[in-house]
A and B are shown apart, each in its own frame.
Chain A
């Protein structure tokens, strides 16, 4: 896969409701943070990749123009990548390919969202054309439909799925408490989760991500530059991305091909044959607790249909064989466009030992993942401490 690429720095804003900052200032904070982390300056950067959800979400079109100064991209090339919820992963992939192609040595990847400035759900409704997929319910209904399809396909009873989803929610929220950047930082019990108001059955309030503002920046560098500049690069070991059909009923969403194939490709590139054993931590995209169960299976981390069993016995909990979302994941922090890139940043923090209170001890190999569209796209990036 061309020349090796590494993450040499990450930066995040404190995610949450950020009425205190204008959108460009929010982006600037993450950019400032990543340069401080990497110890280089914007002068050293060859190009910038920016991504966010469709910028109708914040009411400004092509907002990469608006952010020219915040991104420190004046006088430099900029590419804008967008694949809905998986944007953050796709932004990382663009940056990685740019360097692997030989046309850049250092690329800044930035992704952001300021959902509280607009109506996120209204924007997401326009993903669907107005003739055929006319629907009420928005993103939560898409995920709920999928959750139930999966439960039906594998004959998993409601209670068992509910139990496993609750554990995911408890674990993720505990992660949020240990992550100073996270939006939602509350201690939840299983009872809190199962008694919360119904959003789109079976999904309840604490099974669902928040509406967040936030930005994330990641600096990528070629092998040569990374070894020169960075004490502890996080090496890109593998990538994968697949998308299914637009019409949601066309593909089986319980046996989720885009997740399965994207992860297979990433594992192949990374030389991973037993992901559950070989990975030390997984930052899985989990805006909905139930959906994480499907991801665990389709990412090949446990056998199909058995995610609830593995979750219930603690495999993916803190201290388990493969802790998932120690950062709190998307369930605690969801500035949508940035969420996929935050997973990359968190994976980098883990394998370089910089994750502070939510560090998974001795993590060397980490998976980051994001999903986009109405269950249509999946992107994965695997980072490791060794080249």
Chain B
């Protein structure tokens, strides 16, 4: 199979912007093209990922987003949903041999939307789930309670995720939330949906992430440090919460596929850095288990051990993760970008001290992580 490399990435900051979505999207796309020294027209194909109503005030987002993504009169398409799928689709287009270069962009302006909970209440079906008030936060709260009870994970351990990630975010110029919080701050924050506390829930952020992908030959010409697409896995769970074991998620299946494709047999040892989606703090611990970074039920012990700190053996979310910046739907592509930057040695102030050869990028959305995706990148 044709190898695909990430040549260059560009990100927008997560803080509220007064630019129109069109202006806001244009900047990182132009930045990537300029960095690579390519004209818009010279890129073979474009894949966008964005969202229609509800997570944006417009529908058929391909219409409005097309110009700013650079896709005018180019072979292109659009994914609705997390932008990690745009990355994967861009890779597919190059792997098929049809295209040599692909520009992939995920975009959203969270500041233009109402609260995430308002929007995700529409994910709930109108007959059974919506009347009961199920939305992403209430669903996650139920998942958290189960997690705490089944494995004895403590609220302190969950709070440590927030302290770690927001602390890391202080060194990420693009992060939305930049403030140092202590475990006590988190535990004392309002119990908005017990056991979830306010500081344990991701904000709603802006975010445009653009990336240029290329075939092996082309990538080597365009950059001296291409980051290789090594593997991908994705899996869907069933819809009704009662039909699922909320702690035995499809992330296991997604990770297994990704590891198989990338030839990873011992993730805990072979992954140098992981950027994972943790819109609710406890989920970072759960996802670490499902990704095989530790045994089932040991997520609390994992964060206690310090392994996932930025100085640890397997840093998780050195960028600050989704708790620091939550551009819903673009966030998965940000994870890939951050992984790539770490491998390239270009993550600036939050660059890891050790050499990064293998990065894992994870994305999830839907109730209790109904959709899961994992991408493995390598040097």
Contact = CB atoms under 8 A, between A and B. Distances in A.
A contacts B directly (C-beta below 8 A): yes
Interface of A: 1-2, 22, 47, 51, 53-57, 59-62, 64-69, 73-84, 90, 93-94, 97-98, 100-103, 123-124, 126-130, 240-246, 257-258, 261, 265, 372-374, 376-377
A77 B62 contact: no
Contacts of B122: 56, 59-61
Contacts of A374: 63
Interface string B235-246: 111110000000
A184 B55 CA distance: 35
Interface in B106-138: 119-120, 122-127
A77 B235 contact: yes
B109 to A, nearest CB: 12
A81 B76 CA distance: 11
A90 B91 contact: no
Contacts of B66: 243-246, 376
A377 B62 contact: yes
B180 interface: no
Interface stretch (B27-35, B94-102, B143-151, B205-213): B94-102
Contact of A54 (B59, B93, B233): B59
Interface of B: 1-2, 22, 52-55, 57-64, 66-67, 71-81, 85, 88-89, 91-93, 95-98, 119-120, 122-127, 232-239, 250, 253-254, 257, 261, 365-367, 370-371, 373
A75 B78 CA distance: 24
A101 B96 contact: yes
Nearest to A2: B96
Contact of B96 (A1, A130, A244): A1
Contacts of A376: 63, 66
Given A54-B59, A84-B62, A376-B66, A245 B77 contact: no
Nearest to B94: A101
Contact of A241 (B75, B91, B123, B127): B75
A231 B216 CA distance: 37
Nearest to B72: A245
Of B58, B77, B95, B239, most A-chain CB atoms within 10 Å: B77
Contact of A73 (B88, B120, B125, B236): B236
A242 B75 contact: yes
Nearest to B68: A246
A74 B80 contact: no
Q: Which 9 A-B pairs have the closest CB atoms?
A: A54-B52, A100-B96, A54-B59, A77-B234, A2-B96, A101-B95, A84-B60, A61-B122, A82-B80
Given A65-B371, A77-B233, A56 B60 contact: no
Given A61-B122, A101-B1, A101-B92, A126 B73 contact: no
Contacts of A130: 57
A66 B125 contact: yes
Contacts of B81: 62, 64, 79-80
B235 A68 contact: no
A97 B90 CA distance: 10
A68 B119 contact: no
Nearest to B232: A103
B58 A65 contact: no
A67 B238 CA distance: 8
Contact of B370 (A51, A68, A101): A68
24 contacts: A1-B98, A51-B80, A53-B60, A57-B59, A61-B55, A65-B366, A68-B238, A75-B253, A77-B257, A78-B236, A81-B79, A83-B60, A90-B77, A101-B1, A102-B96, A123-B59, A126-B53, A127-B60, A241-B75, A242-B76, A243-B66, A245-B66, A245-B67, A376-B66
Given A126-B58, A373-B60, 16 more contacts: A56-B59, A61-B122, A62-B365, A62-B366, A77-B235, A82-B78, A97-B92, A97-B98, A101-B91, A126-B53, A129-B57, A240-B75, A242-B73, A246-B64, A257-B73, A377-B62
B80 A81 contact: yes
A91 to B, nearest CB: 9
Contacts of B127: 22
A57 B60 CA distance: 11
B376 to A, nearest CB: 13
Contact of B123 (A53, A60, A94): A60
Contacts of B77: 81, 83, 90, 93-94, 241
A90 B370 CA distance: 24
Contacts of B232: 103
B307 to A, nearest CB: 29
A288 B59 CA distance: 21
Contacts of B125: 60, 66
A294 B273 CA distance: 54
A279 B215 CA distance: 34
B259 to A, nearest CB: 15
Contacts of B62: 82-84, 243, 372-373, 377
